[in-house]
Copies of this chain bind each other. A is one copy, B any other.
Amino acid sequence: MSDRIPVAVLGATGAVGQRFVQLLAAHPWFEVAELVASERSAGRAYRDAVAWRLPGDPGAAGALPVAALGTPLRSRLLFSGLDSAVAGAAEAAYAAAGCAVVSNARNHRMADDVPLLVPEVNAAHLAALDAQRRRTGGGYVVTNPNCSVVGLVLPLGALDAAFGVREVTVVTLQALSGAGYPGVASLDVADNVIPFIGGGEEEKIESEPRKILGTWSGESFALAELSISASVHRVNVVDGHTLAAFVRLGREVDPEAAREALRSFRGEPQELGLPSAPEQPIHVLEAADRPQPRLDRDRERGMSVSVGRVRRDARYHLRFEALVHNTIRGAAGAAILNAELLRARRLLPD
């Protein structure tokens, strides 16, 4: 019998759910014990229910039966890759039932007592869980941000800690996997670019970083004094979001000092040596034409952000390019890292 904590994956048949199953397959602390999806899949073995779209296969989890959403679970730690259409109510219900719901869904990210967690940046926000648990009477929800936001907020976190960050303009070139499957139609990206992503993508990029870089007062989250303008695009890349950022800092800064702040940035995951933590959260690449999705997205198993072209900007202070693996560090990997921090901090329910 395993020492590992049994966990459930909600929305297991979706794109994010499949990534959870893949990343948890050989996890040292967590073992996939239960899989939850829609009614349509319920009762079937996961390998038969899922249209598995990642290289490889589901592994041992393939034999597990899929349960319908809402089924009471024995796992106390739940990873949610649920679609936003159903995540809100379902996650709240499981939290009320005493579970720790570590969610990639957007529904609860901006809630008053729900941490929107990027552990290297705002681990301190876990202090909100006391208030949340008083509200739910039991468990809690912890969220990770939108995929592009992760790629932005890790560098911003490093720069903010060193110099202060005041204003950001960012343009994204986002990968296809972010839209799930079937997601984006091939005819929409063949010899083409789409200058729009639905579901409030720009609004998320303009709001979530302000919470992440803000503070928990003991009673509520105070948003950071930071204004962001974002324009998003979908491009013909499988995995890996590229972000072109322009940043106004608290003061004029030499680009080399900025690079040093980025590459030396560490947080609690690195101090604790959490299993999914990258050794170096932000890698600064020297080559003139980097980062690039296919070459850089898998650095540190897709858990670090790669930054390049850090240079002066006459009107802001700095410009740079950032690259994040949108389904690993930008989604499932981020949630798993959050759960690892919760465990290390002894915050998981028994």
Contact = CB atoms under 8 A, between A and B. Distances in A.
Interface of A: 53-56, 167, 169, 171, 173, 176-177, 181-196, 198, 227, 229, 231, 233, 235-238, 242, 244, 246, 288-299, 308-309, 313-316, 319, 321
Given A171-B244, A173-B173, A315-B167, A189 B186 contact: yes
A330 to B, nearest CB: 16
Contacts of A186: 176, 183-186, 188-190, 236
Contact of A292 (B183, B195, B295, B308): B195
Contacts of A293: 191-193
B191 A294 contact: yes
Contacts of A55: 294-299
A293 B244 CA distance: 20
B196 A289 contact: yes
B195 A321 contact: yes
Contact of A236 (B183, B235, B309): B235
A251 to B, nearest CB: 19
A196 B233 contact: no
A193 B53 contact: no
A183 B187 contact: yes
A173 B233 contact: yes
Contacts of A297: 55
A193 B242 contact: yes
A64 to B, nearest CB: 20
A319 B229 CA distance: 9
Contacts of A229: 246, 313-316, 319
21 contacts: A55-B297, A169-B246, A171-B231, A177-B187, A181-B187, A182-B185, A182-B187, A188-B292, A190-B191, A190-B238, A191-B294, A192-B294, A194-B289, A195-B244, A195-B289, A195-B292, A195-B308, A196-B289, A227-B314, A229-B315, A233-B244
